[in-house]
Amino acid sequence: MNYFQSIGCSPLISMNPAEFLLDLANGNINDVSLPSELEDRVQMGTVESERHGGKPSPAVVHEYLVEAYESRVAETEKKKIMAPSPLDEEVKSKVRGPKREWGASWYEQFSILFWRGIKERKHDYFSWLRITQVLSTAIILGLLWWQSDTKNTKDLQDQAGLLFFIAVFWGFFPVFTAIFTFPQERAMLSKERAADMYRLSAYFLARTTSDLPLDLILPVLFLLVVYFMAGLRLSATPFVLTILTVFLCIVAAQGLGLAIGATLMDLKRATTLASVTVMTFMLAGGFFVQRVPIFISWIRYMSFNYHTYKLLLKVQYEHLTPVVNGIKIDSGVTEVAALIAMVFGYRFLAYLSLRRMKLQSGA
């Protein structure tokens, strides 16, 4: 306002500075005091426009403002801009320093993001729709395999079908939940990382571990219904091992969903790829086709459904028979190692994909 007063333009009434500037820009000068030079130009422009049947143009005001700027302050402002500004020594040290300064330690960043993740997603995990979906599926399975028996081969194969469905269900469900994680949070992640709020490693680890406590509750409810209704092996150790096997399957499948979502960052393409991948893993899981051609048999070893199914068979029938549906009953160490490798391998791939994104750099 001081500048405009210095060139002879000032409001005649009490006026917000922003309104005053808009009036000048639009040529609305009814409530504005003008220098005599500009008043003469405005009057001449008004007479000329009335002669041609038009309205006075704001171009006259614009022209005067530009001329006033060029003659009074342009040179001074250019010199200010071109002059090198001295940097404070503290600022220089921060710019030159190889190590970035963070507002909180890595553990504090992880802890805050971990609890934020639980608070954000606990309502989605325990919505009535999701609980109804899981419990209704469990009840239907329990009724279909009600108190199933393992006294003969046919009954045992029927019960093995239930175990295969459990492996498929808890492999399919987490993949399509985890796919949405990074594509949906990409805008938020880019914004917060651009502001250097936290390290990418702290965010990733917090985001992938905050789901684990939530992921365990629904499978336990599911198995509490199915396990006893279907008459599976009634002993504490097999029940606990079954829960651990399903939980390991969930974490591995979740890792695959995270990797696909982080790699593609597009929900349609990610869903399509996940559908094809999960279907292939399911078909190669050892229940539908036992004699898979050798040129494609390697797929089953990448399938978490296959390893989960084998583990469930071993937990339930290790005391009954050495072979079930062509699968040898042994200690299960190989399957556990394969699932653990998938848990970490898929997540590492997801982390590398996030690093590849155009986010602010940082460990």
- pTM score, whole prediction: 0.70
Taking the C-alpha atoms of residue 218 and residue 51, their distance in angstroms, rounded to an integer, is: 83
Token output for 164 = 């295969």
| β-strand partners of 324 | 327
Best CA proximity match to 7, nearest among 83, 53, 63: 63
- What's the confidence (pLDDT) of residue 47? 59
Number of C-beta neighbours around residue 8 at 10 A = 15
- What's the confidence (pLDDT) of residue 328? 79
- What's the confidence (pLDDT) of residue 194? 84
Taking the C-alpha atoms of residue 267 and residue 179, their distance in angstroms, rounded to an integer, is: 7
- What's the confidence (pLDDT) of residue 311? 93
Q: What 3 state SS string does the chain have?
A: CHHHHHCCCEECCCCCHHHHHHHHHHCCCCCEECCHHHHHHHHHHHHHHHHCCCCCCCHHHHHHHHHHHHHHCHHHHHHHHHCCCCCCHHHHHHHHCCCCCCCCCHHHHHHHHHHHHHHHHHHHHCCHHHHHHHHHHHHHHHHHCCCCCCCCHHHHHHHHHHHHHHHHHHHHHHHHHHCCHHHHHHHHHHHHHHCCCCCHHHHHHHHHHCHHHHHHHHHHHHHHHHHHHCCCCCCHHHHHHHHHHHHHHHHHHHHHHHHHHHHHCCHHHHHHHHHHHHHHHHHCCCCCCCCCCCCCHHHHHHCHHHHHHHHHHHHHHCCCCCEECCEECCCCHHHHHHHHHHHHHHHHHHHHHHHHCCCCCCC
Number of C-beta neighbours around residue 67 at 10 A = 13
- What's the confidence (pLDDT) of residue 361? 41
Q: pLDDT per position in the chain (363 positions), as tens?
A: 888 888 888 888 888 899 888 888 887 888 888 888 888 777 777 655 555 444 445 778 888 888 888 888 888 888 888 877 665 665 556 555 555 667 789 999 999 999 999 998 888 888 888 899 999 999 999 999 998 887 777 778 889 899 999 999 999 989 998 998 899 888 899 888 888 899 999 999 999 999 888 888 899 999 999 999 999 998 999 999 999 999 999 999 999 999 999 999 998 999 999 999 999 998 887 678 777 788 888 888 899 999 999 999 999 988 777 777 777 788 889 999 999 999 999 999 999 999 887 544 444
Angle at 273 between CA 284 and CA 199, to 5 degrees: 115
- What's the confidence (pLDDT) of residue 23? 85
